Amino acid sequence: MTRRRISMRKIKEVLRLHYQNNRSQRNIAGACNISTTTVIEYLKRAKKHDLSWPLPDDLSDKQLEEILYPAAPAKSEEPRIYPDFEQIHKELKRKGVTLQLLWQEYNDGNTNGIKYSRFCDLYRKWARKKDVWMPQIHKAGEKLFVDYAGMTIGITNPKTGAVRQAQIFIGTLGASSYSYAEATESQKLKDWIGSHVRAFTFFGGVTEVVVPDNLRSGVSRSHRYEPDLNPTYQELAMYYQVAVDPARVRAPKDKSKVEKAVLDIERQILAALRNRVFFSIDELNEAIWERLEKFNAKPFQKIPGSRKSMFEELEKPALNPLPKTPYTYAEWRRCRVGSNYHIEVAHHKYSVPYKFSKEKVDVRITENTVEIFYKGKLIGSHIRKTEVGGYSTAHEHRPASHRHHADQTPEKLLKKAKKTGPSTANWIGKILEDEKRHLVQREKICLGVLRLSKEYGDVRLEQACKRALSIGANTYKSIQSILKKRLDCQPIEKENSNTYTTPQDHKHIRGTTYFSY
């Protein structure tokens, strides 16, 4: 396994299943779709560094990778020698010879060989062998198979008459074939996760493994040995302490239980509802659940009992208990932090520490919260807001200069102005009370004027504000101009207290008697 293909999420899942669920190495390999050799390697490396489960909260994915897979010293590139598959095919016909043995012999003395999984893939591709079907025997409480039915049922809008097709989710337990079915609006992630939560509640417990199809909502990238799960689906699995083991692509034999249940439910429940008109999902589900109860209680044809009786007797006691509260749905998104150290969710922006600007982060979004993670470590958490175009900014996320600017409230500006002098405080107070300007504009003007003291000193600024008050100047540029032209150093002229009176007996003045008759 090369360094670029190592999945920290897969390693965490192996540690959780081994130390917390006490699963065997073979079962873990099946649940995680990796080889037993890989499981042994993961556990060996973890034990070497005294790592178990749960891992420390402050341990990021990058740190975990550096601990388990330290960078190897540079080595000279050697030409890779591939095995002779013709000879391998002949050797496999001999008694006791296995691919594992032949791979070990191939790697002996070959410093630039290929890994065991790659060795097997190349051989099987060469040999073009066909898969051999193997009957599946399920233990009680071990597996839950989930899928969607091919049939859909229409939901009619009572106002417009428009019909939309509801999807039918089906879950079937491996040992008893006890089944759950429900209608949902779509097969999208939120409905997919919600159906799992309601299915676990219906069964009253949780199996060890969930086997889904490779639906896009559940499996981000299908792969025979190492599929990538949707992060929300992975979180659901960890919350309910289950392993997710997706079926192989185009391999219905891997989920034959649910394939049979889908066929039976389509014939015995959905087909029977084909002529009914439903006006809501709830109305449709009531009809499905009414028939589902009869479906589960229907006797088997070839063996005694029914799905329900086998569930009550064998499967239910073997299920793991449910958590105290159901899983809270959360979506995960990949975002890039902007230069303003904010990410955007539903047209509202949320802050992260400024040092993560322009980095890619993982965002967990619930109905009430927004959590931001960088390489598996939580770096920001906010209450979710619905304000379009708004900002939710944590004060500690700002750089020092931005924190200083945000701290300049009107009260603090006025307090700082009083330290400079009474005229400065008076001028600043008049600006802050000027309702013709927006508060942001007022604060910027006051902050700019107070900063002039760094260049001209408190004494000159006080005199400049005094002169500005005397002439009614109320702008930043006025104060700046007074200081630049050194007008603050000149005495302020006092108004003449003597008032000028117009003479009434002047020959050019008609006086008050002119208009008398």
Residue 135 lies in a domain: no
Residues 290 and 371 in one domain: no
pLDDT at site 202: 95
Residue 503 falls within a domain, yes or no? no
| Residue 137: inside a domain | no
Using DSSP, state whether 250 is helix, strand or coil. coil
Q: Give me the pLDDT at residue 49, please.
A: 83
- Report d(CA 50, CA 14) in Å as an integer: 15
Q: Please tell me the pTM assigned to this model.
A: 0.52
Residue 209 three-state SS: strand
Same domain, yes or no, for 94 and 35? Answer: yes
Domain membership flag for residue 494: no
Do 147 and 271 belong together in one domain? yes
What's at 375, amino acid-wise? K
Residues 347 and 257 in one domain: no
Cα–Cα nearest to 235, from 4, 5, 3, 16: 16
CATH label of the domain that carries residue 215: 3.30.420.10
Token pair listed for 170: 């089906």
- State CA 388 to chain mean position distance: 20
Do 293 and 157 belong to one domain?
A: yes
Domain count, the chain: 4
Predicted confidence at residue 376, as pLDDT, reads 84
Is the residue at 230 inside a domain?
yes
Element (H, E) at 147: strand 143-148
Q: What angle do CA 242, 247, 250 make, to 5 degrees?
A: 165
Whether residue 453 is found in the same domain as residue 391:
no
- 120 and 40 within one domain: yes
| The two structure tokens encoding residue 308 | 């329900």
Which DSSP string do the residues of 280-340 spell out, in sequence order? SHHHHHHHHHHHHHHHHHSBPSSSSSBHHHHIIIIIHHHSBPPPSSPPPP-EEEEEE--TT
List of the chain residues with pLDDT < 50: 1-4, 130-135, 218, 220-227, 250, 252, 495-502, 508, 517
| Domain that residue 238 falls in | 143-318
Is there a contact between 97 and 104 (Cβ–Cβ < 8 Å)? no
30 and 151, same domain (yes or no) = no
Same domain, 158 and 93: no
pLDDT of residue 502: 47
- Give a yes or no: residue 57 inside a domain: yes
Domain annotation covers residue 504: no
Q: Nearest to residue 35, comparing CAs of 54, 68, 55, 10? A: 10
**Is there a single domain that holds both residue 237 and residue 310?**
yes
Q: Clarify whether residues 282 and 311 are in a common domain.
A: yes
Same domain, yes or no: 286 and 150: yes
- Tell whether 138 is covered by a domain: no
